[in-house]
Amino acid sequence: MDNRFIGIMDSGVGGLTVAKYIKENYPLEGIIFIGDTLHNPYGSLSPENIALYAERLKQFLLQQNIKMLIIGCNTISFNTPSSFYEEDIPVIPMSLKIPCLEEMEEVTVLATPATINTHKHKYIIEKQYPNIIIHEIGLPTLAHAIEMGASEREVDAIIKKEVSKHQAQNTEMAFLACTHYPLVLSSLKKYLPKAKFWDPAQATVEYGMQALLKKEAHASSTGQKKFYFTSDVSIAEPLVKNLFGTDANIEEINL
């Protein structure tokens, strides 16, 4: 057993959806989460700046003596060099595992521009399903709108504007390639009405938990959750408390 915390890092609040999956399925595991709300959104930054900010988040979590680090952000996962993952503990990026797409004709990848520009999801889908139509839809302002607590109407307008640029109305599977997007799933469903939605949080966490299982490093007693943000916590706090309870430990930190 190992009761050290699991670290989760994100460009903002999106990685809370990954933490939520751990809480619901592995309640004994302690979590230390850090969201870089000061520099959000990452989706329009250069890979060099993404890697720079991500390294600061990683070093903060490593200093907390965590047993595993999950990169709860697709933009960071696909814009950092391989050396970023070379640590003495498992460092787990967001999963690129895809579900069965047999008999499907059209799929859509929903992500930040920085993630779309890597085309990682497209390449993997094409390799397994070369005849499928793939729409890549970058949503440059959606993650930040979620960060700022935008209304459903405002979120709907952002999604409608970007989705309408693509003929994706017949999409059968939509990949939520940004951890913020499950937070506005009801709005996304309005504009991709035929689609099933694939959230990689489960595959990401399960891969990490298998790594801990091999080391016999599952927790046995803690379950404590700590949340850190790099700017005023007043915006993130309602979401954290909604997902993790009103007694959640939330702090602002200066890196």
Query: Does the annotation count 73 as an active-site position?
Result: yes
76-84 long-range contacts, CB within 8 A, separation 24+:
76/9, 76/10, 76/11, 76/42, 76/50, 78/114, 78/115, 78/118, 78/120, 79/47, 79/50, 79/51, 79/114, 79/115, 79/118, 80/47, 80/50, 80/51, 80/54, 81/51, 84/51, 84/54, 84/55, 84/58
Write out the H or E segment, with its range, that includes residue 135.
Answer: strand 133-138
Q: How many CB atoms lie within 10 A of CB 185?
A: 13
Which candidate in 45, 73, 109, 177 is catalytic? 73
Which candidate in 18, 70, 150, 178 is catalytic? 178
- DSSP single-letter state for residue 77: H
Q: What are phi and psi of 162, to 5 degrees?
A: -80, -40
Angle at alpha carbon of residue 160, lines to 158 and 164, rounded to 5°? 125
Q: What are phi and psi of 8, to 5 degrees?
A: -130, 130
DSSP-based three-state secondary structure for 119: coil
- Specify the residue for token string 């929903």: 110
The set of catalytic residues is 73, 178
